[in-house]
Structure 1
């Protein structure tokens, strides 16, 4: 088996991936240095069964690597338990650790059953794979071509047409390896037949109501019969596209370094670039923040409002999970948050607010201690309240002072305001009322439990 062309390609690919000789980014590099084993995503189909046998031989040659197989039951087929039993028996015969996992695929709007099942499968595999294991997946060259055609049909750009990478990471940081991407389905099926590798047939693969099955069963056979070497040709195209995307990513990161300021994006610097580079910059900025990519229409709205509107215009472009907003020369990503409660008593104790933040009291410079008949409370959104910060001339509205302190418009209503009875004494994180200032008093601090950011 180890002398076959398929195993040699598989082994060479896995050697490179595990040795981290082609790491696409720092995350990949850091994660791979600690790889202690391989976890195979096992469905029982011919691809995953051949993958299991290839990995089994690989770890015999590399005994420092452990091997584990996970079967995910999506609950979509009446035969799923039978397939689980089959996978268990095959793993037992090879003395490979086996874990079955059941997941529920819930119907969601605007997401296909295929996409839902895939999401549930990856989450389950990531959760149950051993610590330090790379997740090994059985996608091959024909799968790559199918993915390319599906994304071509959707009108994807360069990144989407790059399809699947031989190495990638899940949101958790778990490494995913696809060492069969350079092999065709026909080679895998021939390998299984030569070595008598048993496998199951998923009846859903015969249904052309799924787009991928339609391509696999109807379209690709025609293309392969008409055009000799069609699959390898498209595979080469995908590799070229991935290389072009990697080059574009380098250029975009260099551009982004000129425009980014912590979590925001400089509009004046963005305006210095050509339109296509502006689009790449905004996409890269949002991607770093974990935002779902905007449509082309939404991207055009962001750039139009950012670059063409008045400097003091109130810009808002809604995306999934939040909004792109403008304050002065910066674009900000604002996550959707519920409004804070209007008022609550806090006294002199630590108080949890309703958005994962807490208010705590610190002794020292701040405001004087409250008297016995002064009730201490926290309020929000009292922007017309007049107050005078220390060292400033004259009283003015809180709205005026927050603008002066460069607080973005959408954050002003969320700034905690400490009151003694009906007198504003501290604007938490910014200043105290000069009339209540004391070097031997106390102050309130806002703590965010999500990122431990303090004010």
Structure 2
């Protein structure tokens, strides 16, 4: 096994030899074998161990075991305790999702603080098969049926070329100590149920199951590569990327017979899962939307707009004191007194300073807001102004108002209010600049 891993690194992962590595180690057989293999290959690495405090004394015994093993091998070790149950409850996550988030957030924090180049985990071929079956039973596209990737950003899984049986044999032959996690024997989780009840039957039906699975994964990855190429070409025609959004042209999208597959390919990485709702959105009326945990997909005329979800941003109000020369949140404005108005910079207005009542406020627009557009005598609803200017739903969401008391001074970056303009009687001129 040592020689096989060395050959694999030499051929496919040679860059690891010169890098500083962080090993994610639970203390179980897989991760302890990874530790010993890396130690024998003389790689530059340290160990990170999470105590999730989910199994009482057993979790603490795992932690003590890791301290003793790394001390014996003279390997640097980082250990972190998490109140996982409390965090899961607070963030409304399952225990598994909370533990995963805590684990990887901490790993990346260690990387940044200590100069590690990659995180190594001990996932192996049987883990990949289990992941394949989990995704298969839940319904998945090709992405979910290609197993666990060997590399995902800074995370590497060098043991994917080995089976669980190979790892167990190596551990026994080399007298490697490890800890048994009692939760692995429970069928409470789908992965364990597949491991204990389903996969043994599949291996009985096909003794070469893992070898067949490797061939299947290889073929699926090649198919995925073809799909990715087609998806990329379609994306370049249909989508346009702007500062805060991606715009999908529906006329161009619907020219593709399999447009739903393209949407799946493009949107799955943004956390969307309700594909039926997204399919319906294509033919829905303007203003309809579908949300993931992080993003919004909005129907706007003949386009779909994708942008980050901003919770309760309409309710936030920012104050500006009279002495302030600039603000940086939620957008950048600068304030300066001037006497020369012969040149007006882009994205700037001149106002009569004595007409302002401080503190000024910056807020989102709301239904019922009105202003007096610069150069006009009558009032106009902000919503009507948006309609006349043909602003998209997303553009409306991004608009901020600069207000004096209850009066709008400026629809920032769009239109000044006439009531605050400078006149022949103005003695103090304030220039307000919007810096994009």
Q: What TM-score bracket applies, with the shorter chain setting the length?
A: 0.7 to 0.9
3-state SS of 2:283 partner? helix
TM-score computed with the length of structure 1 as normaliser: 0.78
Q: Which secondary structure does the structure 2 equivalent of 1:139 belong to?
A: coil
Give the 3 Å change call, closer, same or farther, for CA 383–206 of structure 1 in structure 2.
same
Give 1:383 shift: 5.8
- Do residues 318 (structure 1) and 291 (structure 2) align? yes
Paired residue secondary structure (1:79): helix
Q: Secondary structure at the match of 1:198?
A: coil
Residue 38 of structure 1 aligns to a residue whose secondary structure is strand
Query: What SS class does the counterpart of residue 333 from structure 1 fall into?
Result: strand
Q: State the match for 2:248 in structure 1.
A: 265
Q: Secondary structure at the match of 2:354?
A: coil
Greater CA deviation, 77-86 or 186-195?
Answer: 77-86
Give the match for residue 70 of structure 2.
91
Change in Cα spacing, 1:168 to 1:302, as seen in structure 2 (3 Å) is: same
Q: Determine the C-alpha separation between the residues in 2 that align with 1:234 and 1:162.
A: 10
Are residue 45 (structure 1) and residue 25 (structure 2) matched? no
CA distance in 1, matches of 2:103, 2:356: 58
**Does 2:98 align with 1:116?**
yes
Does 2:184 align with 1:187? no
Distance in 1 (CA, whole Å) between partners of 2:106 and 2:398 is: 38
Q: Indicate which of 44, 48, 52 corresponds to 1:74.
A: 52
Between 251-260 and 104-113, report the one with greater CA deviation.
104-113
SS state at 2:160 partner: coil
Confirm or deny that 1:337 pairs with 2:316. no
**Unmatched 5+ stretches in structure 2:** none
Paired position in structure 2 for 1:10: 5
2:324 to 349, 357, 364: 349
Q: Residue 215 of structure 1 is aligned with which of 194, 197, 204?
A: 194
Question: Equivalent residue for 1:370?
Answer: 352
Mark the CA change 1:369 to 1:143 in structure 2 (over 3 Å): closer, same or farther: closer
| Aligned pairs (5 A) from 1:114-263 | 114-129=96-111, 130-169=114-153, 175-261=154-240, 262=242, 263=245
* Secondary structure of 2:213 counterpart: helix
Deviation sequence 1:133-160 (CA, Å, 0-9, x none): 2111111111111111111111122111
Counterpart of 1:360 in structure 2 is: 334
Task: Assess, with a 3 A threshold, how the Cα gap between structure 1 residues 423 and 178 changes in structure 2: closer, same or farther.
Answer: closer
> Any idea what SS the aligned residue of 1:181 has?
helix
Give the CA deviation at 1:92: 2.0
Distance 2:404 2:141 in 1: 58
How many angstroms apart in 1 are the aligned matches of 2:330 and 2:268?
23
Structure 1 Cα separation of the partners of residues 135 and 221 of structure 2:
14
Deviation of 1:41 after TM superposition, in Å, equals 1.2
Alignment: residue pair count: 409
Mapping for residues 396-435 of structure 1, pairs under 5 Å: 397-409=381-393, 411-412=395-396, 415-418=399-402, 424-433=408-417
| Ranges in structure 1 where 5+ consecutive residues have no aligned partner | 1-5, 21-31, 170-174, 447-453
* Residue number in structure 2 paired with 1:444: 432
Q: Distance in 2 between matches of 1:223 and 1:96?
A: 40
- Name the Cα RMSD after superposition: 3.4
Q: Aligned runs of 1:93-108 on 2, under 5 Å?
A: 93-106=72-85, 107-108=88-89
